Amino acid sequence: FREQNRRQEGNEEYVFYDGPPFATGLPHYGHILAGTIKDVVTRYAATNGYHVTRRFGWDCHGLPVEYEIDQKLQVKSSDDVKRMGMDVYNEECRSIVMRYSGEWRTTIERLGRWIDFDNDYKTLDTPFMESVWWVFKQLHAKELVYRGFKVMPYSTACHTPLSNFESGLNYKDVNDPAVVVSFPVFLPDGSDGIDGASAYAGIDGAKSRAANASIPAIKNGVIPAGARLCAWTTTPWTLPSNVALCVNPAFTYVAIQSNKSGDVFIVAEARVAELPGYSDGKKKKKGAPDTPPTYTVLHKFPGSDLKGLHYYPLFGTFSKCFTDPLQAYRVCVDGYVTDDSGTGVVHQAPAFGADDNRVCLAHGIIVKGGFIPDPIDDDGRFDEQVSSIGITGIHVKEADKKIVETLKEMKRLVSNNSLVHSYPFCWRSDTPLIYKAVPSWFVKVESIKDRIVANNEKTYWVPSFVKEKRFKDWLVNANDWAVSRNRYWGTPIPIWANDDYSEMEVFGSI
C-alpha cells in the first residue's frame, strides 16, 4: 500500500470522499460492507495510475458522543450542563471519542483494506474544523446562508432537532388523548353570547364582530347564534399555543345542533359522527326500530365560506403578542385538511407543526422571522408564559391531563377519547419526539436546486436507477438545509453577532 502510493506520487490525484465512523462504538456488518466497496473503488483508481490518498477518519462530534456522556453523568437537562460547565462537559466528551479506535484498526486491517491509520484525521482537529468554517464562509459570501425557524422533529431528552431520517427510525404504537374542543364564533349582532370586552388583552370583541360581518358564512346567514367551531387534536399540549383554525375550502361543512343540549357545532359534513352521541336515527339492524336522530343539520356551506372567520380564543395565552387585534384567532383554508379523521377543522399551533407553520405564514397569522408563540423550553417543559393555566415546569407529554381538565372546567371540551396510533420516538433516548420550531442556520438549497439537479445529470451512478429515481426525486423535492444543531460538543457555527443579528461577522479560520 505504501509502496504503491510512493510510486504514484505526482500523478493525477483521485479524490475520494469518505464519511468517517464514530469510534464510540464497534464496527458492524454495515461498516464492513461499505468499507469493502470503498476499498474496491480506490484500489481500482490506483491501478489506473491515479495517486489516491487514503486516510482513515474519525467522526468525533455530535449526538452519539453527548448521549454517552449524558448517561454516564446522569445529565437530564441543559441546566445540568450549565451547572457543571461546558468546558468540563466537553472534556468528558473528548475523553471517549477514541474509545474503540484500536478495535477498529484491528478489524479493518484484518479485512485487508488499504487505508492509512497512522496519518488519520479527526473531526475535532482544529484544521478540520477550520475547513468547515471556510466552506460556511464561502456560502455566506454567496448569500446562501440565513437564520430562520423551522419546525423539525425534536428530542426533548437530547435537546436537539433530528433529521427526518432519524425521526423515522423508532416508531411505536402509543395511546394518546383524542379530544374535540370548541371555539365560539364572534357574531356581528352579538348573539354569540361572548362578553363584548374580551377577557384577553389584545382581543377586541367589537372589532372581531365587525370583521366577521364580511365573511360569506355570516353574510349568508348560515352561522346560527352560539355556533362553535369544533377542532380535533391528539396533542392537547399544543392548545395553549393555538392562534388559528384551518378548514378545507373544498369540503362541505355543516352547522349542526344537538337535539339534547341545543348546542350548535360547525364540523365537516363527512365528520359529524365525531360529535358525542351522534346518531342519524336510521335503524342499524334489520327489524330494529328507527330511533330519533340526536342532531339536526341547520345549514350546509363550503369550507371556503369560513375563511377569515374570527373566533374566541381558548386561553388567549399569546393574544397580547399580536399588535393587530385581528391578526390571529381566525379561520384559514388549506387542502391539507382531510376528512378521514377528526372533525375537518384543524387547530393551528405554528411552532409545533410544519403544516401549521406553513398555513399560518400563508395567511399572515405569523410572518417570516417574526414572533412565533412557543411556551416550551429546550427540555420540553412549559415556561412562565402559561403560568395562568398551571402547567409551568411540566413536560408536554405530562401536561395533557391537566389541560384537558382545564378545558372541561371552561366548558370548551366537546369530547374526550383516546387513540392508539404510531408515534415517533427518539432513536437515542427512546423518548417521544415532538415537532418544534427551532432557530437554525440554513443553506439556501431551494435557490440553487436547478443547478444541483443539472449536475446530477452529469454524474455517473451505479446503479443507474438511483440517479434517475431515488436521488433525483430527493433533489427535486429538497428544501433549504438546516445545518446547525443545538449541541455542546461540535464544530461551532463561525458567526459572531449581536442579540438581534443586525451586526454579524463570519469567520473562515482562527
pLDDT of residue 104: 95
Grid coordinates given for 393: 415546569
DSSP 268-314: EGGGGGGSTT------SSTTPPP---SEEEEEEEEGGGGTT-BB--S
Q: Report angle CA 154, 158, 161 to the nearest 5 degrees.
A: 30
Residue 245 has φ and ψ, to the nearest 5°, of -125, 155
Alpha-carbon distance of 44 to 459, in angstroms, equals 18
pLDDT of residue 40: 96
233: Cβ contacts below 8 Å, ≥ 6 apart: 178, 179, 181, 239, 342, 346, 347
470: Cβ contacts below 8 Å, ≥ 6 apart: none
Alpha-carbon distance of 356 to 348, in angstroms, equals 5
Query: How many C-beta atoms surround the C-beta of residue 165 within 10 A?
Result: 9
Contact at 8 Å (CB) between 348 and 332? yes
Closest CA to 245 of 151, 339, 338, 365: 365
368: Cβ contacts below 8 Å, ≥ 6 apart: 148, 361
pLDDT of residue 289: 67
Residue 464 has φ and ψ, to the nearest 5°, of -65, -30
Grid coordinates given for 485: 444543531
Determine whether 15 is exposed, middle or buried from the number of CB atoms within 10 Å of its CB (0-12, 13-18, 19+). exposed
pLDDT of residue 205: 82
Closest CA to 243 of 325, 133, 139, 335: 325
Please state, in angstroms and as integers, the Cα–Cα distance from residue 131 to each residue in 36, 187, 307, 482, following that order: 28, 61, 51, 19
Alpha-carbon distance of 455 to 463, in angstroms, equals 17
Please list the residues that pair with 172 across neighbouring strands: 423
Name the stretches of the chain with pLDDT < 50. Answer: 196-197
Query: How many C-beta atoms surround the C-beta of residue 334 within 10 A?
Result: 18
Alpha-carbon distance of 322 to 242, in angstroms, equals 13
Distance in Å from the first CA to the final CA of the chain: 35
Task: Give the model confidence (pLDDT) of 282-322 as tens digits.
Answer: 756 666 667 789 999 999 999 999 999 999 999 888 988 88
Q: Where are the beta strands (DSSP E) in 372-432?
A: 413-424
The 3-state secondary structure of 5-23 reads HHHCCCCCECCCCCCCCCC
Give residue 498's identity as a one-letter amino acid code: N
- Assessment of whether the complete model's pTM goes beyond 0.85: no
DSSP secondary-structure letter at 187? Answer: -
Residue 466 has φ and ψ, to the nearest 5°, of -65, -40
Closest CA to 426 of 383, 392, 397: 397
Determine whether 432 is exposed, middle or buried from the number of CB atoms within 10 Å of its CB (0-12, 13-18, 19+). buried
Alpha-carbon distance of 321 to 94, in angstroms, equals 43
pLDDT of residue 166: 77
pLDDT of residue 493: 94
Alpha-carbon distance of 311 to 443, in angstroms, equals 38
Residue 187 has φ and ψ, to the nearest 5°, of -115, 140
62: Cβ contacts below 8 Å, ≥ 6 apart: 22, 485, 487, 489, 490
Please list the residues that pair with 58 across neighbouring strands: 122
487: Cβ contacts below 8 Å, ≥ 6 apart: 61, 62, 63, 66, 160
